[in-house]
Chain A
Amino acid sequence: MNTNAENVTTGGVRARRLIAYIVLVILSFLCLFWFVILFVNATRSHSDLTRGFTLIPSVYLPKNWSGLMHGTLPVVNGLFNSFVVSACSAVLCTYFSTMTAYAIHTYDFKLKNFFFTFILAIMMIPAQVTSLGFLQLIQNMKLEDNLLPLILPSIAAPVTFFYMKQYMDSTLSLSLVEAARIDGAGEFRIFNRVVLPLMKPAIAVQAIFTFVSSWNNYFIPALILHKDKIKTLPVLIAQLRSADFLKFDMGQVYMMIAFSIFPVIVVYLFLSRYIVAGVALGGVKE
C-alpha cells in the first residue's frame, strides 16, 4: 500500500545523500588541498619550484631540511621555545583552572557568586585590547625577551575555568569529597589525589586546546620577543615573511612552513577523536 510513497522518499533521500557527499568532498578538498601542495613543494628544489605547479613529490626533502637547519633562521630554537611555552602553558592552565573551578564548585564562601559572575563576564574580553598595558608591564618588569610573560598569564584562563566548572557539575559529587574528608585527607591532598584524576578527560581536552592556541599565538609574542634566539615559531614565520623574498630558496620557505604546521597535524591525527569530541562537549555545555 505504501510502497509508492516509500519509493519516492527513498529516491529523494538518495538524491539528498548524493548532494551531501558531493558537498563534503568539495569542502574536504578545500581544507586539505593547501597542505598537500605544501608537502609536495617542501620536497622540491628551488629551480623545480619556479617551473610551476605539480602534485608529484620530488626528492629534495632532505636537502631542504638540512638547508633550513643550517640557514639563517634559528628554527630549532624556535621549535624549542614554542614547545616550552605551549607545554608549560598547557600544564599551568589546566591545573590552576581546575583548582579555581574546584574552589567554586565545592566550597561555599561569601564572594563565591561574585567571583563566578565576574569570571563569566570577563571571559570574552580578548588579550589584544589590554596589550598596551601588558607590554608596558612587561617592560617595567624587565621581562622582554623572556618566555615567562607568555606562560604565567595562562594560570588565569576564564574559558578553561568555565569548561572545567561545567565538567565538574556533571561528574564530581560532593559526597566523594566528604568521604575523603572522613578518611582524614587534607583539602589540598583531596584536590590533587581525588579530584584531579577524576577530571582527566576534561584536563586532556583542555591541555590540547591550550597547547595548540599557545603554539599558534602570534600577536603578544611578536610584541615582547625581539632577540632571534628567544623567538617562537610564529614570530619566525613573520620574520621570514618580512625578509627580502627574492633571496630565499623557495624549497626552504615551504620547508619552514611545513615545519611549523606538521607537528600539530601529526598530533591531531592521533588525537582527533578526543579533540572533536571535546569541541562538541564544549558546545553542548557552553
Chain B
Amino acid sequence: MNKKRSKVVQYNRWGYIFMIPFIVVYLIFQFVPLVTTIYNSFFENYRSGLKQIGPNFIGLANFQAIFSNPDLWKYFGNTMIMWICGFVPQIFFSLLLGAWFTDPSLRLKAQRFWKTVIYLPNLIMASAFAMLFFTLFADSGPINSLLQNLGLVSSPVRFLSTTVTARGLVAFMNFIMWFGNTTILLMAGMMGIDPSLFEAAQVDGATATQVFWRITLPLLRPILVYTMITSLIGGLQMFDVPQILTNGTGDPARNTMTLIMYLNKHLYSRNYGLAGALSVFLFIVTGILSMIVFKITVRKEG
C-alpha cells in the first residue's frame, strides 16, 4: 500500500517536469516583459533629438500625461467606432447564417462549400489584405474605375481621404475577416441545443422566427457574450489593417488611428515612459474583459 502511494507520488513528479518548458518560456517571454512594461510606466524615458532623457522615476506623471491628452480618447473612440461598425454586421449575419445552416426544414445544399468560402478571409494575412484594399480603393484604383464604368459616380470617390469611407473600409474588412469564424462558432453552439426543444416548438406551431427569438437566442446567450467580449478584446488590439491602409498615419485627420497604432508610434520613437503607461491602461482594460471571458469559460468547464 505504502509502496504504491510512493510510486504514484513519483509519477506525479512528472507533472512538474512536463510543465517546465511552458513555465520557463512564459516567465521569460511574457511575465518579465509584463513586469518591465509596468515598471517603465513610472519612469521618464524618451529621446529628444539625439539626447536620451531619463530613465528618471516620476511616479504617475506618465499616466497623467496620457489621460490628460485628448489624443488617447480620440483614438479610443476611433477604435470603438470601427470595432462596432464591423461587429454589428458580423454578429447579425453570423446569427442569420447559423440559424439557416442548422434549420433542418431549410436543408441548404453545399453547406461545406459555403462555410469554406466565408471562413477563407479569416486566414488571409491582414497586412496583405489591407495593402490590397489600399491599391483597390485608391483614387485611380480598380474600384473607382469600376464605379465610373457602371456610371454610379461621375468623379472618383476619395475613399481613403474621407473619414466615413476610410473608417468604413476598416470596419468592412474586419467584418469580412471575422463573420465566417463567428458563424461556425455560433453554429456549433446552435447544434448543441437539445433538438427536442425545437420539436416541441414545432408541435406547438411556432414559426421559424419565433423559434429563433424564443429558443435559439436565449440558449445561445453565453456563447454570444463570449463571442462579443473576445471580439471586443480583439477590437482593442486593432492594428494591422488601419496601420497598413493608412501607412501608420491614421489619416484622414487621424480619424482611423487606433490605440495600438498610438502605442506603436511611441515604441518606434522610443518614448518608453508614455508607451508603458499606455500599455498598462490597455492591460487593465483587457484584463477586466478577460476576467469576464474567464468566468464564462470556467462555468462551462464546471
Q: Which A residues are within 8 Å of any B CB, using their own CB?
A: 9, 13, 16-17, 20-21, 23-24, 27-28, 30-32, 34, 37-38, 41, 50, 52-53, 96-97, 99-100, 102-104, 106-109, 111-112, 115, 117, 119-126, 128-137, 149, 152-153, 155-156, 161, 181, 187-188, 191, 212, 215-216, 218-219, 222-223, 233-234, 237-238, 240-242, 250, 253-254, 257, 260-261, 264-265, 268, 272-273, 275-276, 279-284, 286
Contacts and interface: CB of A to CB of B under 8 A. Distances in A.
Interface secondary structure of B, over-half rule = helix
A280 B93 CA distance: 17
Contacts of A155: 21-22, 25
Contacts of A219: 239-240, 260, 264
B112 A100 contact: no
A126 B286 contact: yes
Given A107-B14, A132-B37, A20 B119 contact: no
Contacts of B142: 37, 41, 52-53
A109 B263 contact: no
Given A102-B18, A155-B21, A219-B239, A20 B106 contact: yes
B83 to A, nearest CB: 14
Given A96-B21, A129-B283, A191-B18, A134 B29 contact: yes
B48 to A, nearest CB: 19
A41 to B, nearest CB: 7
Interface centre among B21, B96, B126, B248 (most CB of A within 10 A): B21
A129 B114 contact: no
B13 A32 contact: no
B247 A241 contact: yes
B279 interface: yes
Contact of B37 (A28, A129, A233): A129
A128 B180 CA distance: 25
B282 A129 contact: yes
Contacts of A137: 28-29, 32-33, 36
Interface in B62-102: 93, 96-97, 100
B19, B25, B114, B129: which has the most chain A beta carbons within 10 Å?
B19
Interface of B: 8, 11-19, 21-23, 25-26, 28-30, 32-37, 39-40, 93, 96-97, 100, 105-108, 112, 114-121, 123-129, 131-136, 140, 142-143, 145-146, 148-149, 176, 179-181, 184-189, 192, 208, 223, 226, 230, 233, 237, 239-240, 243-244, 247-248, 260, 263-264, 267, 272, 275-276, 279, 282-283, 286-287, 289-291, 293-294, 297-298, 300
Nearest to B205: A5
A262 to B, nearest CB: 10
Contact of B117 (A32, A133, A191, A238): A32
Contacts of B248: 242
A124 B19 contact: no
Contacts of A187: 11, 14, 17
Interface of A is mostly: helix
Given A133-B34, A137-B32, A161-B22, 15 more contacts: A20-B100, A31-B118, A31-B176, A31-B180, A34-B136, A53-B146, A96-B21, A115-B19, A149-B29, A155-B25, A223-B264, A238-B243, A275-B123, A279-B184, A280-B184
A254 B135 contact: yes
A37 B136 contact: yes
Contacts of A257: 128, 131-132, 135
